[in-house]
Amino acid sequence: MIELAQLVAGWPMAISMAAAVAAQGLRAGRRRTVLNEALHELRRPLQAVALASGPRLATAGAGGDAIELAAAALERLDREINGGSPAPAWGAVDACSLVDSAVERWQRRAQLADASLDLRWNAGRATVGGDRHALAQALDNLIVNAIEHGGPTIVISARLLEGRLRIAVADSGRGSRRPSGSRGPAAIARLSGRRRHGHGLVVVRQVVSSHGGRFALRRSERGTLAVLELPLIEVGERWSA
């Protein structure tokens, strides 16, 4: 039987533990509130941009794609914070359009970094199965990594290989980077996320793995080569996650 003295002696520890749990709950609740406020503030300018673009969004190319991808990223963040099931987004994806849009989307960013983006497509009308937004996110991460951390000459190439589409992003190495006094506008520098290394590659690996593909990364003095391979599907073939 527990003695009264033991109960009294144990109260300080119990109170401390209860206070710690309560504080943790308050911090978690506050963090969730802050994240939801940030979500709200991010949605507002995104909606403003979408409304300002009006009907041009349907044919805006890289601009429309960027807004669509940003909206999809906000949806995923909302689900992580508040729960909920992801909307089904799996289907047949025109690989050429997917990669071409990614290259066009980041051309201006490459120019601001004194870099060049060159697409060499040798895969015909390749079709892959999956989530177009997730695949675009993976490509974006590889291209931006090359712009921010690689050499100034960046080549994105694609070819077919034994029932798979092989996409490679290669840069010319930091040793060949041209000296530059500026890395673009301050807003881009703030949003580049250079202090947070490795997150983009984690995203790439997760996306490629969930699509039944392969990903490899090779670094050397001559530059970085990132290669992802995705299974091809026949046009009209039914695809599901």
User: Whole-structure pTM over 0.85, yes or no?
Assistant: no
Confidence (pLDDT) at 70: 73
Average pLDDT for the chain = 77
- Gap between the Cα atoms of 62 and 68, Å rounded: 10
Count other C-beta atoms under 10 Å from residue 180's C-beta.
12
Confidence (pLDDT) at 4: 47
- Gap between the Cα atoms of 223 and 154, Å rounded: 10
Cβ 218 vs Cβ 196: under 8 Å? no
Confidence (pLDDT) at 235: 66
Confidence (pLDDT) at 33: 81
Q: Sketch out the chain's domains with CATH numbers.
A: 4-82 (no CATH), 90-231 (3.30.565.10)
- Indicate if the pLDDT at residue 122 is higher than 60: yes
3-state secondary structure of 239: coil
For residue range 63-96, what is the model confidence (pLDDT) as tens digits?
Answer: 667 777 777 777 777 777 777 766 657 899 999 9
Share of the chain above pLDDT 70, in %: 63
For residue range 151-208, what is the model confidence (pLDDT) as tens digits?
Answer: 999 999 999 999 999 999 999 987 665 555 445 555 555 555 555 556 789 889 999 9
